[in-house]
């Protein structure tokens, strides 16, 4: 092979190597410019609503429906246990007068007897951004010592892992003296300030009928209407706080 042939061969090899190198670099540059980025996904926001017999009935169902309608992207779990007060939710006491649930997928169920779920277990499982508690009427029946002890323990737990806390106090009734209902409200007011829980005064939104019913629960045509309006007014009261909480997470 003469000198001219050798030079030609070297030139051919050099050109081929450069073309391959340029092709490889171009592919790498394309990958660098247009990477296959993973799609971002947001965990769903969750709301937990618990209550007593008022929540088993018209009030709780209406409030839950309003929550689901106005916050369709939020997973809403509602649990209501008839006769319950804070101690029941801390210890898991059985109810014999009605138990109602609403699952995030919209499925609802109602039975007469069931164990009240422990609030600690509910909070650990659901991890709510907001927890709404509608307990008040049955606190009237507790001793003052137990009322404060168990209510504070429950509020402290909500403050620790319940997200935004909203507590709905007892409505008006004929069964209990107005002074007793207000006494419970004053305790809730004190504890809610201590544990950063928003308190709703249901006495502002309810007036129990002068006749009919059992003196405590809202039933019949007039009672149902009052309970429905009670739920609507409570929802309108808490809607701004809920909207702010869920908007901040996105």
- Compute φ and ψ for 52, nearest 5 degrees: -105, -150
State the maximum Cα–Cα separation within the chain, in Å, rounded to a whole number: 121
Give the Cα separation of 52 and 85 in Å (integer).
7
46-248 domain in CATH 3.40.50.1110?
yes
The tens digit of pLDDT for each residue in 78-117 reads 999 999 999 999 999 999 999 999 999 999 999 999 999 9
pLDDT at 249: 52
User: What pLDDT does 43 receive?
Assistant: 77
Buried b (16+ CB within 10 A) or exposed e, 137-150: bbbbebeeeebbeb
The predicted pLDDT at position 202 comes to 98
Closest CA to 137 of 174, 94, 92: 174
Residue 248 has a pLDDT of 61
Specify whether the CB–CB gap between 150 and 85 falls below 8 A. Answer: yes
pLDDT at 58 (0 to 100): 98
**Which pLDDT does position 9 carry in this prediction?**
53
pLDDT value, residue 171: 98
- Its pTM surpasses 0.75: yes
Q: What is the pLDDT of residue 247?
A: 83
CB 105 within 8 A of CB 158: no
Closest CA to 186 of 131, 117, 139: 139
pLDDT, position 12: 41
First to last CA, the chain: 74
Residue pair 155/195 in contact (Cβ under 8 Å)? The answer is yes
Q: How far apart are CA 124 and CA 160, in angstroms?
A: 11
The C-alpha atoms of residue 154 and residue 245 are separated, in whole angstroms, by 22
What is the CB neighbour count within 10 angstroms for residue 103? 13
Cα–Cα distance for residue pair 213/234, rounded to 1 Å: 22
pLDDT tens-digit profile, the chain (250 residues)? 554 445 445 444 444 444 434 443 344 443 334 345 444 456 789 999 999 999 999 999 999 999 999 999 999 999 999 999 999 999 999 999 999 999 999 999 999 999 999 999 999 999 999 999 999 999 999 999 999 999 999 999 999 999 999 999 999 999 999 999 999 999 999 999 999 999 999 999 999 999 999 999 999 999 999 999 999 999 999 999 999 989 865 5
The pLDDT of residue 27? 41
Per-residue confidence (pLDDT) for residue 80, from 0 to 100: 98
pLDDT of 37 reads: 46
Per DSSP, which regions of the chain are E strands?
46-51, 75-81, 94-95, 99-102, 108-111, 114-115, 130-134, 164-168, 197-200
């Amino acid at each position: 092979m003469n000198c001219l042939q050798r030079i030609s061969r070297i030139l051919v090899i050099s050109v081929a190597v450069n073309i391959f190198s340029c092709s490889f670099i171009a592919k790498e540059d394309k990958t660098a410019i247009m990477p296959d980025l993973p799609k971002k996904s947001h965990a769903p926001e969750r709301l937990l609503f618990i209550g007593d017999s008022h929540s088993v009935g018209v009030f709780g169902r209406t409030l839950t429906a309003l929550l689901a309608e106005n916050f369709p992207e939020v997973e809403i779990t509602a649990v209501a246990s008839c006769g319950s007060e804070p101690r029941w939710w801390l210890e898991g006491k059985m109810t014999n007068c009605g138990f109602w649930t609403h699952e995030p997928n919209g499925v609802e169920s109602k039975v007469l007897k069931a164990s009240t779920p422990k609030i600690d277990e509910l909070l650990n499982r659901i991890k709510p951004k907001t927890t709404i508690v509608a307990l008040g009427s049955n606190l009237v029946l507790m001793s003052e010592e137990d009322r404060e002890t168990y209510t504070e323990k429950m509020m402290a737990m909500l403050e620790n892992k319940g997200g935004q806390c909203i507590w709905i106090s007892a409505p008006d009734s004929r069964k209990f003296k107005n002074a007793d209902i207000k006494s419970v409200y004053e305790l809730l007011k004190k504890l809610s300030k201590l544990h950063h829980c928003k308190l709703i005064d249901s006495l502002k939104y309810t007036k129990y009928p002068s006749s009919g019913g059992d003196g405590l629960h809202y039933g019949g045509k007039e009672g149902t209407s009052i309970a429905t309006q009670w739920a609507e007014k409570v929802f309108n009261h808490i809607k701004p706080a809920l909207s702010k909480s869920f908007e901040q997470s996105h």
